[in-house]
Structure 1
Amino acid sequence: MSESDLSKFFEWAVSGFNAIAFDLVVALVVLVVGWVVSNWVGRLVRRVATRSTRIDPTIVPMAHSVTVWSIRVIVLVAVLARLGVQTASIIAVLGAAGLAIGLALQGTLQNIAAGIMLLALRPLRAGESVSVVGKADGTVDEVGLFLTRFKQFDGTYITLPNSLIWGSPILNFSRHDTRRAEIQVLVPYGEDIDLALAELRAMVDTHELALKDPEPLVMVSGYRDNAMLVTVRAWAAAANWFDLQNDMNRQAQRVLKAAGVELPPSRPVHVGA
């Protein structure tokens, strides 16, 4: 090899090395900047979501993670492209892998989809008392991306897959500020029904937990073989519903007996449906 050929080879090697070094430096800069930007945007999303009163706190960690890793995936693809890797083939491989994983984890993906719908539409939220009909009754402890955990009224915990919750009727006892309490009393035929109605109405009108608006209601709602069925309805703050329901059940019999109204010998008071 002549001296001129050797010189050209060294010039080619140096230029190639410089080009590779430049690409490596640019790729490293893109990676570092992209990582920093992803963290900054993630913190921004978390801060905005936390301050918003319309976003459930449960969704904040998921929104943060999705935002951060979406940016990082784009950054990684850009870095590989800068290094000369064919990104089209990478995207195709990732798509095929995602499809295979999706087919293998079909049930898990159903739970994720149901979790997203629960977090987006918010039929239940952490801290609310709900009944997932046929599945669980209690206070919502955590709404996760895969599972939802409840503290049941007896103090035990139950965890349900999100797909079961999304596919079931949900009764939410805490969403509204007020809730209606209801009892039913049997008054035998021949007794003074007007007196019974007046005494029961006075009972709810003077109860400290019964709200004046909506107005309480006391009425004859049906007839049985040996008695008339009287229904008493009163509204209370949601937090006081149980106490009002219990007090009306406890006081109704005493109030009627004190007024001289005789009651049937069995099952004088019935909890409303």
Structure 2
Amino acid sequence: MTAVNSFISSNYTWLSWTAAGMALVLFWVSGFFLFRIIHYHLSKWASKTETDLDDIIILSGKPHVITWSFLSGLFVAGKIAPLTPSIAPVLDKAILSLFLLSITFLAANIASLAIKNYGTKANLSLPLTGLTDTLVRVVIVIIGALIILANLGISITPILTALGVGSLAVALALQDTLSNLIAGFHIIAGKQFRPGDYIKIDSGQEGYIVDIGWRTTRLRELSNNIIVIPNVKIGSSIITNYYLPQKEMSVVIPVGVAYGSNLEKVEKVTIEVANSVLRSVTGGIKEFDAFVRYNSFGDSSIDLSVILRVKEFTDKFLITHEFIKQLHERYRTEGIEIPFPQRVVHTIQK
């Protein structure tokens, strides 16, 4: 009788483990196919709605649904399998912790994508940068980690105490990194510039702002090279932002004509050419009326400035290029001389 009971018990154990394994595989595979079906219909529904939030949730949840199916199967398998009383609670806590971890990363991803999506459509008080994205993710991950620790029954008080004691050593070891991090926050909070703005630093570097990170700011030059500048240097530099208060800007082009020129005619011809360029060349402000200002008697010419208006900083290169070409041709046609630099020296012979 004892042998029969032992045989039945061993077979029952083997069958229980087999059933647990099958449940795990069944949940995992079913979750995969169920997800494909649900994702297909939800995507069709989301494409018809005006808000982008549902698209963000579906896109972010895609890799997590399979994980949840696996964890569900693992939970059911744990209930079927003949686990010892000491192992079963540990498995339950581990499954719940993994589920909370997945939820945490999902929430962080949804928050990041939502801020990026709606931030580009709305004029937010803070520019959207890599630093703000990292900050949002870190805050959500920290909250999720605290919830997971509470679920595991771990007191966070000793952890916070240890962090407080160790923060001084960390601050001393990471002085440069922390300085750049704080400088990055100051740049963002001060709204000195945003990603996409064209700036010039007093040290000579200039380009489009690609991103403001937790340690550096990246610029993209017109030559398409990337300049990496520490946030501390950016924060202490004199910066010209060509996109503030607006992208539209004036372009001042210096011109010189001979002393014998008819200045009224020079002004009229120059303005005609400038207005023609503004209305025909891409980047010019068609509604703007160019004007001329004489400003000095040079060594070999009467100097004047021609003021045009362009849509943004980089448009000035093409506008200047076409203006010089057309003005040179028109001056030649009208008989207006552009003198070569020269200096007349009078000598007295005795």
Is TM-score (shorter-chain normalized) higher than 0.5? yes
Partner of 1:259: 334
Asked whether the 8 Å contact 1:130–1:171 carries over to 2, the reply is yes
Could you say what secondary structure the match of 1:206 adopts?
helix
Note if 1:69 corresponds to 2:109. no
Corresponding residue of 2:117: 51
Residue of structure 2 equivalent to 1:245: 320
2:128 alignment partner, SS class: coil
Show the counterpart of 1:107. 176
**Is the CA contact (8 Å cut-off) linking 1:183 and 1:248 kept in structure 2?**
no
AA in 2 matched with 1:205: N
Q: Which residue does the alignment assign to 2:260?
A: 190
Residue 236 in structure 1 maps to residue 310 in structure 2: yes
Which is worse superposed, 52-61 or 233-242?
52-61
Which residue of the partner structure matches residue 69 of structure 2? Answer: none
Answer yes or no: is the 8 Å Cα contact 2:101–2:145 preserved in 1.
no
1:160 matched residue in structure 2: 229
User: What CA distance in whole angstroms lies between the structure 1 residues aligned with 2:103 and 2:163?
Assistant: 23
| CA deviations over 1:20-44 (Å, ceiling 9, x no partner) | 9999689657744642442343133
**What SS class does the counterpart of residue 260 from structure 2 fall into?**
coil
- TM-superposed CA distance for 1:243, in Å, is 0.5
What is the aligned partner in structure 2 of residue 171 from structure 1? 240
Unaligned runs of 5+ in 1: 1-17, 268-273
Q: Secondary structure at the match of 1:185?
A: strand
Query: What is the rounded CA distance, in whole Å, between the counterparts of 1:51 and 1:152 in structure 2?
Result: 26
- Pairwise CA distance, 1:194: 0.5
Letter of the 2:257 counterpart = V
Paired with 1:154 and 1:41, the residues of 2 have a C-alpha distance of 39
Superposed CA offset, 1:28-86 (max 9, x none): 57744642442343133123202222352535641442133221342255356x35x5x
Alignment of 1:1-273 (within 5 A): 31-32=97-98, 34-52=100-118, 53=120, 54=124, 55-56=127-128, 58-59=130-131, 61-79=133-151, 82-83=153-154, 85=155, 87-174=156-243, 176-207=246-277, 208-209=280-281, 210-238=284-312, 239-266=314-341
Q: Which has the higher contact order (CA 8 A, sep 6+)?
A: 1
Q: Deviations over 1:97-123 (max 9, x none)?
A: 122101211111011112233344443
Could you tell which deviates more after superposition, 254-263 or 96-105? Answer: 254-263
Name the one with the larger strand percent. 1
Gaps of 5+ in 2: 1-84, 343-350
CA contact (8 A) 2:199 2:209 kept: yes
1:98 and 1:44 map into 2 onto residues whose CA distance is 31
Is the deviation greater in 102-111 or in 124-133?
Answer: 124-133
Tell me the TM-score normalized by structure 1.
Answer: 0.75
Number of residues of Structure 1 aligned to a counterpart in Structure 2: 246
1:34·1:71 contact (CA, 8 Å) conserved in 2?
Answer: no
SS of match in other structure, 2:161: helix
RMSD: 3.0
Report the residue type matching 1:187 in the other structure: V
- The 8 Å contact of residues 129 and 211 in structure 2, kept in 1 or not, is answered as no
Paired residues of 2:180 and 2:232 also in contact (CA < 8 A):
yes
Percent of aligned positions with the same letter in both sequences?
19
Question: What is the TM-score when the length of structure 2 is the normalising length?
Answer: 0.61
Change (3 A) 1:43 1:73: same
